[in-house]
Structure 1
Amino acid sequence: MFKQYFLTIIFLACTLHCFSQNEILCSEIKSILTITDSNNIPNVIDNTNGTKTLIFPSQTVTNVFNDYIIYDFYQTFPSASGVLEQFYTIVHSSKSLIERMVNDVPIDVISAEDYYYNYESFFTPISADIFTTLNGNSYDLSKYITTSDSDPCDGCPLLDVPSDFTLSVTFNYDEQLDMLYMETVNTTPCGNTFTIGLKGGNPNGFTNLDNTLQLWEAVSGISNESDFNDICTTIESTLYNILDIVCSGATENNITVTFNESSNTMQWYKTNDIFGYDSIEFSDVNLSIQENEIIALFPYKEKGNPYLQLRHFEDEHILIEVFNMTGQLVIPETKFQDNSINVSILTNGIYLIKLSNSDNQQKIFKFLKN
C-alpha cells in the first residue's frame, strides 16, 4: 500500500514535469526501478550521444545494463523518513532489459515493480486473431476518448476525429520474434512519427489475455513541439497513452484489442493513471479502398472447430494453398466449399495461407493452428 501511494506521487510529479515540455510523443520506454541500499546507486555517465551508461559497484550488474540502450536514469522520488526504498526512472528502448534484470540481478541491488517477479514470462503469445488481421495492413485512427475519475464515462461512445485529421499506421508481424511492429505511415497531424514493437500482454493478474498487447520495443522517431490547445494534441496523446509512449507518463497495463467485423474496425483500450481509461478506434484503410477485393478476406479458425473459414467471404471463387514455415506445401490448391476447409490434419504451429480468386488476385496470411 505504501509503495502504491508513492507510485501515485511519482506519476503526479512526472505529469507536472512533462506538461512543461513542448512534446507529447516520447517514443521510449519508461520503467520504475527501486533501490533499497544507497550503496547500490549507480554512477550515471553521459555518453554525449543521447544515451547514458550506468556504472554499478558490481561489474556483473554493470554488464547487464551495458547490453541495452539507456536514454536516461534519474531519481523519481526520494525515500521518506524511515523508508529505505528510493524510486528511479529508467528510460530505455526494450523491455528485454527489465526481463534480463529480473532474471540476472539480485533483487536487493535493484528491482523492478513487484508483478515482474510473479511469472516465468513477461508476455504471452500474440493471438492468431491479432496477427492474421493486422499483419501487412494499414489503419486510420477514426475515433477516440479519454476518461478520468473526475469525468467518469464507462461505456460512452467514442468521439469522431475531425474530417481533416489523418493518422495512419501500418503493422508487420515478425514470426521469429513473435513481435508486432507498428509504424506511422506518414507524419502525423501534430508532426510526429514513431515505430514500436508490441508483444502479447503481460500475464500479471489478467484472466483474459486472448487479444492483449504491450509495448516491448520503441525506436526514437520525430517528436514535434505541440500546441496543447490543438485538437490533434488531444487525439494523439490518447493514442500515445495507450501505447505507453506519451511524455506525460504512462502505465504498463495491457492493451485490449477488440474487432468489429460488421464495421471493419477495431478498438484499442487501456486503463490510465488518472483512474479512467483511454480508447481509440482504427478503421481498416485496405477495406475502405478495396472493400470487395481479396484484400478484404482473412482466414480464422474457432477453437475446437476443425474447419478454417474466411471472414468477409462473399461466395467468390476462392482457392487456398497451405504451406508450412519451411515453404513445404501441406494442403494443395483447394477450392473453399461452403466457406470452410478442414485443417484437422495439420499439426499445431504457424502456417502460410495463400488465397487466390478468379481475377488472379492473391494474398498470403500467417495462420496459427492450435
Structure 2
Amino acid sequence: MSEASKIQIPRVKLGNQGLEVSKMGFGCMGLTGVYNSPVSDEDGISIIVAAFNKGITFFDTADVYGPHTNELLVGKALKQLPREKIQLATKFGVVFGGVDPPGVTAKGTPEYVRSCCEASLKRLDVDYIDLYYQHRVDTSVPIEETMGELKKLVEEGKVKYIGLSEASPDTIRRAHAVHPVTALQMEWSLWTREIEEEVVPLCRELGIGIVPYSPLGRGFFGGKAVVESLPSNSALLSTHPRFIGENLEKNKNIYNRMESLAKKHQCLTAQLALAWVLHQGDDVVPIPGTTKIKNLDVNIGSLKVKLGEEDLKEVSGAVPLDQVAGERTYVTLRHLQWKFANTPPKV
C-alpha cells in the first residue's frame, strides 16, 4: 500500500453555499493534452479512479479541453464511481472560431450558457453538474445577464453551484449580487500571487471558496524544465516566458532554494510548494493534475507537510516575486489558440 493511500484527505466547505469537497481536487485538463500528449482513455480513466480511491472526490474539467474529449473521458470514468460521492466541476465560455487567423473568444450570452450546459450534461452523461464555472468572462455581455441564466439552471436542478474563473473583483461583486458565487478559480502558486491583494480578501468577505489552478507553477516546482526536460510536444510550456531562455536560468535559482527548504522539511520540492498553497486557508482547494500515478501520490503526500507561520514566511521568502523572471501567463484565449490555429474544432 502506498503512503498516499494511507492519507486521509480532509473534507472542507468550498464557499458558504453548502458545497463540500476533498481538500485537494484533481485537474483533468492534462489528460487530453495541452502540456503533453493526451493519454489513452484507459489510462485517463485509471488515474481518475485511482484519485478517487485515494480520497479525492473533486474533479475539474471543461468543454474547451480537447475540446470536448476531456468531458467525454471524465464521463466514462464517472461510470466506474459512485456519482453521489463525486463533486464534478466543468466550465463554459470559450469559443473557437473567427476568420483570419482562426481565433478564440469568450462568450457569455444566456443562449450560449444554456446550450453549453446541455451539451456538457450530455457529454458527461450526468443529470447535474455540481459546480459550473464561467471559464472566461465575456466583457461584451453584462455579467448580470450571464449569471441570470446560470441562476435559472440552478433552479432547474441542472447545476448545483455557480463559479467564476479569472474574474475581476468588480465582476465578482456584480455576479454575486445576482446569485451567490460558490467558488472562484484562479491561478495561484508560489510564483503567481497577484490574487492575494484584492481577490482573496473579497472572496472571504463574500464567502466564496478559492480553487487555485496550476498550484505547482505549471509543473515548475515539480521539477519540470529543471530536473526533467520539458515535453517536446508541449507548445504551451515551450513558449511560456518563465520556461525559456535566460528567464528559465534565473528561475532555476528559485527552484534550488525551494529544493533546499524541502530537504529541511523532509519532503519533496513539489510537496512543499503544494503544501504552501494548501496552507493558505481552509477555503482554498487546489486542483493539481497529472497523468502519472506516482505524481498523484506525491501531490497527495503534500497533505502531510505541516507548516507553521514562520515556515510559511520562509517558503514565501524563498520565492521573492521580484526575482521571478518572465511574466505570468495563464491559459487565456490567446494561449489556447496555438493548438487549434490550423485545425479549428468541429462544433
TM-score relative to the length of structure 1: 0.25
TM-score relative to the length of structure 2: 0.26
Q: Quick one: higher RCO (CA 8 Å, sep 6+), 1 or 2?
A: 2
